[in-house]
Structure 1
């Protein structure tokens, strides 16, 4: 057994209907302002359930608008256009489809062919009020209502050929007045147990879409600069080639400004824009990077957006530094560890074999610490050595420390990009919406 729903245009059933669930594609067309749950009817239903009464005692008129969506034809047409279902496009598709099938639809009686000589005539008829009605209900009797029966069949063919429900909806709306009301009543699904009155179908559809895009779409990686992106990408290709294609790095061809401010700005922008892809913002493991990560953490970013600092490395525990007080040896993890540190201490040595020192810079108030970095010429030399080691033409196998660095960076990215668990069931599943949302709410799990 199942429960049925249908969509009405101006109070008339349209050829957009379904059983037991409403597809996410359709629900994405509605918003909070279109959603309505009748508190009065919900109270009656709760009283019946608590008293052990029977829902069958309710009057027939009660089984409407307990949960429903209502908007206008004009609003839906605009939303459909933004999702790729413009009126012109769906009409062209329908016409082209029928013209391609002309040998089939020209077989009926001559009167049918006279009414509908081509695909354009069929499409025009389907979008009239009587044409929509013909596709919404039970099949009309071919002997007494040949035209309606023919149109009913054509609607069925279209729904089968273009099975995204937004296609049938867009075609149904193409000739309707912009001010006409469109109503989607889900009361029967609530009464049948497929939804609860506390469910919010359009929001849950968006959450499922976000989870799917976040888990299945590419992972966007934001870095402080072009060399960081290049080294991270190459590290994935060398250490985790089976997943390297999942990650995409921002294009530096236009030479956007680098540094932590750039990472913070881009990450905030993606969160503000509602980007659904997983986003990993990679910051240096230095004072400025830690400060930038703290700034992003305070923003309470969406779960799919993660900020990470480069990992600690053991050879940074005792590293040479230069400062106003003279030379020293200090632990620079969290204070000066940039991408140049990631590929082993051999990369950090000068021609004499000595570690190239980092120089203390300005004090960062928010982090209450000083920042250190390589002098520019040292940084350039180290990056050249890393590029040479990671080059596709470099000797194989990789030097041990370089291979360890690639693995270290790949593990960091994969760990940051791993999404939260998700329920492997769509809105079409026989599972109830509540179970799909939180299957373990009432179950104690050991371990």
Structure 2
């Protein structure tokens, strides 16, 4: 007999294993995604007769569950993008073409669906509408009944590559799983996300029964980013790290656990761009395998240091990045020897505090002051006036006001989304 474990989206199975864990999908979930739910794999009559074993029942009912819309950002940051799914599908088709080329019975030649056609077909029916009731083998026309609405799509189905599970179905939902879910679970989740009606459909990983049966230890099932999936963000100052970390935790909580920081709450070891460059040099010498983003302010000193790191030819698991250029910084007040003028401060004076809400009643309009000239990049370096006050105002905001209040987080969102995009390009060392 044995016990199965499946990763499912609604009633559609994406990954199946029996008597062992199979792929580890804990990274799809976070703290708060652990639930207890009734399972078809549990003998509830037994527990009615043995109420003293209710603690074991609690273990048997455990699973992780999360809506698809909140799983997609976690897929994206690990490189499981829609384009990656496209490449996987094209590889499956290429293999099918090669195999059928040796089969004389394959006449006429199959014209397989393009990836876009495949996606459109997979998303034709909202997953929540699919029937999952078991069709008994003795039922007349059992195959047709099990296929449900897909029975009328036979011509399209012939153009989808065959898999070893294509004949294993007993309901409309299981038919979609067997005949259409031919890609990895991560890729199929991206495909199903193309249908907006699937956004709030739950993805579940029901592990309680296989733990309760003794096949796998409970400790094997943990939610959250794995150590090898995490990215260290190294900044030139403690303020940078604190602002980025809090912004991720509050504004992008679905991926915040993929990022770690150096001494966010303690003394910062890399004051200034020079020390951060030295830190990068040290990591290069010892050939560290961690994924690292070296983040520099978008000012003249940051640009200077960024270019120095670029010349070092960082390995694939490391990347130097600047805070992003913003349109809001192209017409910024700046004080220099000839008074105040409007300047583009991108690459010259946009330290991280510039990305905060700069509307403070007790101060005039935000302004930078030009301080020193950087010959190596032929640009003046500027500093935001009252930057500590802007930072304090940010720290003083309750979490809920940062999410939904009057505090302007528009520039912060552009900053952290730019960092998340850079994180996708950092390749983990296997």
When normalised by structure 2's length, the TM-score is 0.44
Greater Cα radius of gyration, structure 1 or 2:
1
Looking at secondary structure, tell me which structure has more helix per residue.
Answer: 1
TM-score in terms of structure 1 length: 0.42
